[in-house]
């Protein structure tokens, strides 16, 4: 903490967001200035925080053969993608739309993996023509479609099968993906047969084995439960004459929203490489698809208190951001820290922070001790991942603007939606 900083506590897990002279800053920019200049709700990202998160992976990897494909569903703003492209990242995409975004920022198609359970033929076609590195295939029906599409355009699709290892990621059920009851992947018991099918199809070339067991993992052990099962599979594939070049362990490393202590990329990688060596599979290349851990704590959502309302049971801070801006609290009962951009320093009261949308489920935070008044600006923490990308227009609310801070400068990286934007494409009957 430098001399100019007050005694405000740092934001949990947010490098590059801190209080200076009693005002919350992103890098060198006071968030109060951004709220004044650009209005709220406003997503604010820190370029330095994105780089810092990337460097955690880069430093953990060292010289080891690892390709990090940013799970861009977490935040697909072009400015965010461009930073990662500049840093040499690959991209994990799940739609033709995401492919277009990567190509729009000049991302390297040879570092793209295409994931997702429901790829359509046009999406496969565009990815093949772009020359993506690999398709993570989730069913035998998808293998057949991909082979057909590849043949029709004279290409060979490099494939990895997404295997469902049936492990419990010990996270929220909606973001747990590696259990039998989830729709994702090919059951590990059926994987060998699916690989044999893939090997028999003319448009495909097998290159990898893939899994993604869930998101916001705060315990490392589920990765290793999955890893051992995948390594057993790779051995069985070798016995069947099917050679694997890479292993993709998906994304999932958690971040600190409150007091979590998620595993570091280094802890994960060191142990994975130990296991690969121990199993005689040191030649395998590794891929990771982190989303949240690269962007989650690089962003906050600014919102302004509209009214304070008190009844017998509760105090409500009604703010101008809502579930349409940040869906995570109501969808997953997710915790996001909330704090005043310019704290008043009094004892405060316990508030539910809620939006203006006509739903009781429209809340951002529950039971938070805050000393606030009408018109105060609040920062909702850890909003860089699965924030703006999950925003919608419910109640005909334009989506927020997004701004990227870079040192003492800032750049609007998405304009606030206008009402004309909202009505575009709609019409009434003649
Ligand atoms: N790879 C695949 C195949 C995925 O399905 C996901 C996330 C990732 C990588 C990136 O995972 P991450 O590193 O971000 O955990 N909307 C939820 C999270 C859904 C995650 C979906 N898949 C949330 O707000 O918590």
How is residue 348 written in tokens?
């405060």
Rounded to whole angstroms, the Cα distance separating 215 from 226 reads: 14
Nearest CA to ligand 1 atom 6: 251
Pocket test for ligand 1, best of 209, 251, 268 (most atoms within 8 A of CB): 251
How far does the centroid of ligand 1 lie from the alpha carbon of residue 252, in Å?
A: 6
Whether omega for the bond prior to residue 110 falls within 30 degrees of 0, making it cis, is no
Assign 135 to helix, strand or coil.
strand
Which one of 184, 257, 289, 290 would you pick to mutate in the ligand 1 pocket, going by the greatest count of ligand atoms within 8 A of its CB? 289
What number of other Cβ atoms are within 10 A of residue 271's Cβ? 16
pLDDT value at position 189? 94
Is 69 assigned a catalytic role? Answer: no
State the Cα–Cα distance between residues 56 and 220, nearest whole angstrom. Answer: 17
Ligand 1 cavity residues, CB under 6 Å: 71, 73-74, 92, 115, 175, 212, 215-216, 250-253, 289-293, 328, 332, 386
- Nearest CA to 293 out of 34, 24, 60, 8 is that of 60
User: From ligand 1's centre to the CA of 220, what distance in Å?
Assistant: 16
H/E stretch holding 81: helix 78-86
Residue nearest atom 24 of ligand 1, based on CA coordinates? 386
Contact 79, 299 (CB under 8 A): no
Residue 215 CA, ligand 1 centroid: distance in Å: 5
Rg for the chain, CA atoms, rounded: 23
Atom number of ligand 1 nearest to Cα 172: 25
Q: How far is CA 242 from the centre of its chain?
A: 32
Preceding omega of 41 cis (within 30 degrees of 0) = yes
260 carries a ligand binding annotation: no
Domains and CATH numbers, the chain: 17-46+296-423 (2.40.37.10), 116-288 (3.20.20.10)
How remote is the CA of residue 104 from the centroid of ligand 1, in Å?
22
Q: What per-residue confidence (pLDDT) applies to 172?
A: 72
Q: What share of the chain is helix, strand, coil (3-state, %, to 5)?
A: 30, 25, 40
Of the candidates 292, 277, 383, the one whose C-alpha atom is nearest the C-alpha of residue 329 is 383
Q: Is 281 helix (H, G, I), strand (E, B) or coil?
A: coil
The pLDDT of residue 13 is: 79
CA of 292, closest atom in ligand 1: 14
**Closest C-alpha to 411, from 147, 77, 168:** 77
Ligand 1 centroid – CA 306 distance (Å)? 33
Segment-wise mean pLDDT, segments of 10 residues, the chain, 430 residues: 44 88 97 98 98 98 98 98 98 98 98 97 98 97 98 98 88 69 88 98 98 94 95 98 98 96 97 97 97 98 98 96 98 97 96 97 98 98 98 98 98 98 97
Q: What is the pLDDT of residue 1?
A: 34
Of these residues, 69, 153, 211, 358, which one is catalytic?
A: 358
Query: Mutation test of ligand 1: which of 53, 67, 71 has the most ligand atoms closer than 8 Å to its C-beta?
Result: 71
Say if CB 45 and CB 384 are below 8 A apart: yes
Question: In Å, how far are 235, 246, 270, 330, 378 from 224, measured between CA atoms?
Answer: 16, 17, 12, 31, 40
Q: What is the Cα–Cα distance from 357 to 55, expressed in whole angstroms?
A: 39
Q: Annotation-wise, does 123 bind a ligand?
A: no
From residue 381, how far is each of 13, 84, 412, 417 by CA, in Å?
9, 22, 19, 22
Structure confidence at residue 14 (pLDDT): 83
Per the CB < 8 A criterion, the answer to whether 240 and 192 are in contact is: yes
Element (H, E) at 236: helix 221-239
| Nearest partner of 352 among 371, 336, 340, 365, judged by Cα | 365
289 is in an annotated binding site: yes
């Amino acid at each position: 903490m430098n001399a100019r900083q007050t005694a405000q506590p740092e934001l949990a897990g947010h490098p590059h967001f801190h209080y200076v002279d009693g005002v919350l800053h992103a890098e060198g920019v006071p968030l109060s200035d951004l709220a004044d200049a650009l209005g709220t709700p406003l997503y604010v990202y820190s370029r330095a925080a994105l780089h810092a998160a990337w460097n955690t992976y880069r430093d953990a990897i060292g010289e080891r053969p690892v390709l990090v494909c940013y799970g861009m569903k977490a935040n697909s703003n072009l400015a965010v993608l461009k930073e990662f492209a500049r840093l040499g990242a690959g991209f994990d995409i799940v739609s033709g739309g995401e492919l277009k975004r990567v190509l729009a920022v000049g991302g390297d198609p040879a570092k793209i993996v295409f994931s997702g359970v429901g790829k359509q033929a046009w999406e496969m076609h565009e990815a093949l023509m772009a020359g993506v590195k690999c398709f993570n295939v989730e069913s035998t029906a998808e293998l057949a479609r991909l082979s057909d599409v590849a043949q029709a355009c004279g290409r060979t699709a490099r494939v990895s099968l997404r295997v469902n290892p049936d492990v419990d990621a010990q996270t929220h059920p909606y973001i747990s993906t590696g259990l039998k009851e989830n729709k994702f992947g090919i059951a590990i018991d059926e994987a060998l047969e699916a690989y044999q099918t893939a090997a028999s199809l003319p448009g495909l070339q097998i290159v990898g084995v893939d899994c993604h067991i869930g998101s916001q993992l705060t315990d490392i052990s589920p990765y290793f439960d999955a890893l051992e099962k995948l390594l057993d599979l790779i051995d069985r594939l070798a016995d069947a004459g099917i050679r694997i070049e890479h292993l993709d362990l998906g994304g999932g490393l958690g971040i600190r929203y409150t007091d979590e202590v998620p595993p570091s990329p280094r802890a994960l990688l060191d142990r994975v490489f130990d296991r690969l060596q121990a199993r005689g599979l040191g030649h395998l290349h590794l891929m990771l698809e982190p989303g949240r851990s690269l962007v989650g704590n690089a962003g906050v959502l600014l919102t302004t208190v509209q009214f304070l309302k008190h009844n017998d049971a509760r105090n409500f801070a009604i703010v101008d951001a809502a579930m349409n801006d940040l869906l995570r609290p109501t969808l997953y009962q997710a915790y996001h820290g909330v704090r005043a951009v310019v704290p008043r320093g009094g004892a405060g009261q316990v508030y539910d922070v809620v939006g203006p949308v006509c739903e009781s489920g429209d809340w951002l935070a529950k039971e938070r001790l805050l000393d606030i008044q009408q018109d105060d600006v609040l920062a909702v923490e850890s909003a860089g991942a699965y924030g703006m990308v999950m925003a919608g227009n419910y109640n005909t609310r334009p989506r927020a603007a997004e701004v990227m801070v870079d040192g003492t400068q800032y750049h609007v990286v998405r304009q606030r939606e206008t009402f004309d934007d909202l009505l575009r494409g709609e019409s009434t009957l003649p």
